[in-house]
């Protein structure tokens, strides 16, 4: 098929690469000329496992452009433009603008909305453009986005004349749920809010574990996850969820429901718990900083999670800023991010980072940080992601672990 993709961020680029891999002819559009020029030279503007390989391997079926006219004649155009949350409400101007532009240049295309939008958005766009508008939310995680797109747990398709979307994704072999646009739009928000709730729930249990001699949230979560109804996923305690989706989507869902006169109490509590995680971690660290005379900390991990260079809503950055405000010196290291943070010092390797500090803080789950277990580290370790085996360290404090 001839497929267009508008908006070449994570979702758009991964969608383009995967659809080209599966023998579609793909035209990717973005208004950022700089990004298009780099893509045409063969450089993806972001780090995602396998993305570069996919783009290179399929370059004969992939074109990139900033000109919407190049979409003319497409069978379907995926809309992957951003939907920022402003004052707890989503702003759909980019999605609506893209759809208007598509309607002008390719009036026979079906529009498939991948962007996360609140219920009612697709129907509104259908009315204003007169085109076929299908909702097909994405559920991909950064770091495994290609795999998640090629083999998703499920494909949600909302709207009439939805066969074209089902045909595009047929190669995945994944179960398909066909429904209304509104249900499809809400499934995305409800799924993300539910996963965020699991994280906040286990983080509250972690707080409780820290007060009970002998308790450890890791073991509690493992025991809970063995129950098939609960499942072991998204039960890792830490410094809270970050990234481009959960914080923005939980806020947007809350605001959307509020406008409908519905108070989503659990989603509100999920956000509150998440907002309290950084202070909780800083208080935990400060107790020992004072007791042990620690002056400088090495923070390992800067991106919002391992496996990505994305720092949007990174909890690690909030943590570093909070530590600095508390008068603690900070040096930091991340395997793929080299962003400057005012008042903190960037290290170029784990060795350099660990060597120049009095204590170590784990802020994300890169496997590379497990090297610390073989480095005979005698400095105190604060494991905020429960990545390390505590037995390797003389002084170890973990989130959700009772401590004298």
Tokens of 286: 């400060």
**Which of residues 52 and 141 has its CB atom nearest to ligand UDX in the complex?**
141
143 contacts 135 by C-beta, under 8 angstroms: no
- 225 Cβ contact partners less than 8 Å away, ≥ 6 residues apart: 231, 232, 233, 235
Of the candidates 62, 49, 79, the residue with the CA atom closest to the CA atom of residue 21? 62
CB of 291 to ligand UDX, least distance (A): 27
* First-residue to last-residue Cα distance in the chain: 63
CB of 148 to ligand UDX, least distance (A): 8
Q: Which residues bind ligand UDX (CB under 6 A)?
A: 138-142, 192, 195, 199, 234-236, 238, 241-243, 245-246, 304-305
CB of 94 to ligand UDX, least distance (A): 17
Q: State how far the Cα of 132 lies from the Cα of 135, in Å rounded to an integer.
A: 10
Given 245, 298, 353, 357, which residue is catalytic? 245
246 contacts 211 by C-beta, under 8 angstroms: no
Q: CA torsion angle for 41, 42, 47, 50 (degrees, to 10)?
A: 180
**Which of residues 224 and 264 has its CB atom nearest to ligand UDX in the complex?**
224
Of the candidates 337, 365, 336, 371, the residue with the CA atom closest to the CA atom of residue 351? 371
Catalytic (active site) residue 357? no
Q: State how far the Cα of 301 lies from the Cα of 319, in Å rounded to an integer.
A: 11
Of the candidates 366, 360, 365, the residue with the CA atom closest to the CA atom of residue 394? 360
**Which of residues 114 and 126 has its CB atom nearest to ligand UDX in the complex?**
114
HSE-up of residue 326 (Cα within 13 Å, Cβ side): 23
CB of 364 to ligand UDX, least distance (A): 7
CB of 136 to ligand UDX, least distance (A): 12
Of the candidates 250, 150, 266, the residue with the CA atom closest to the CA atom of residue 193? 250
Q: Which residues are catalytic?
A: 245
């Amino acid at each position: 098929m001839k497929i267009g993709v508008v908006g070449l961020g994570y979702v758009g680029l991964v969608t383009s690469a995967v659809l080209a891999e599966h023998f579609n002819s793909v035209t990717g559009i973005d208004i950022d000329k700089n990004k298009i020029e780099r893509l045409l030279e063969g450089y993806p503007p972001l780090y995602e496992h396998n993305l570069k390989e996919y783009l290179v391997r399929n370059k004969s079926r992939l074109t990139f452009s900033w000109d919407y006219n190049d979409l003319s004649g497409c069978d379907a155009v995926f809309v992957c433009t951003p939907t920022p949350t402003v004052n707890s409400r989503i702003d759909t101007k980019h999605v609506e603008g893209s759809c208007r532009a598509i309607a002008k240049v390719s009036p026979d295309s079906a529009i498939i909305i991948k962007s996360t939008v609140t219920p009612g958005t697709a129907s509104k766009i259908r009315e204003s453009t007169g085109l076929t508008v299908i909702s097909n939310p994405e559920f991909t995680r950064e770091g495994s986005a290609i795999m998640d797109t090629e083999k998703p747990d499920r494909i949600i398709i909302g709207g009439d004349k939805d066969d074209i979307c089902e045909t595009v994704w047929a190669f995945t072999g994944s179960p398909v749920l066909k429904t209304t646009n509104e249900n499809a739009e809400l499934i995305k928000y409800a799924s993300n809010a539910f996963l965020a709730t699991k994280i906040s729930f286990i983080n509250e249990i972690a707080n409780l574990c820290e007060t009970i001699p002998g308790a450890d949230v890791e073991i509690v979560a493992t025991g809970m996850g063995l129950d098939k109804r609960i499942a072991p996923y998204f039960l890792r305690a830490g410094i809270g969820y970050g990234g481009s989706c959960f914080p923005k989507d939980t806020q947007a869902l809350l605001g959307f429901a509020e406008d409908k006169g519905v108070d989503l109490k659990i989603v509100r509590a999920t956000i509150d718990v998440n907002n309290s995680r950084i202070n909780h971690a800083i208080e935990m660290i400060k107790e020992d900083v004072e007791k042990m005379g620690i002056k400088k900390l090495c923070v390992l991990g800067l991106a919002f999670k391992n496996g990505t260079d994305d720092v949007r809503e990174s909890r690690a950055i909030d943590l570093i800023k909070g530590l600095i405000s508390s008068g603690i010196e900070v040096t930091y290291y991340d395997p793929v991010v080299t962003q400057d943070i005012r008042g903190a010092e960037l290290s170029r390797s784990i060795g350099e980072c660990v060597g120049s500090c009095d204590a170590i803080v784990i802020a994300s789950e890169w496997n590379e940080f497990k090297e610390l277990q073989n480095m005979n580290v005698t400095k105190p370790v604060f494991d905020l992601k429960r990545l390390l085996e505590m037995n390797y360290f003389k002084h170890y404090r973990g989130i959700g672990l009772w401590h004298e």
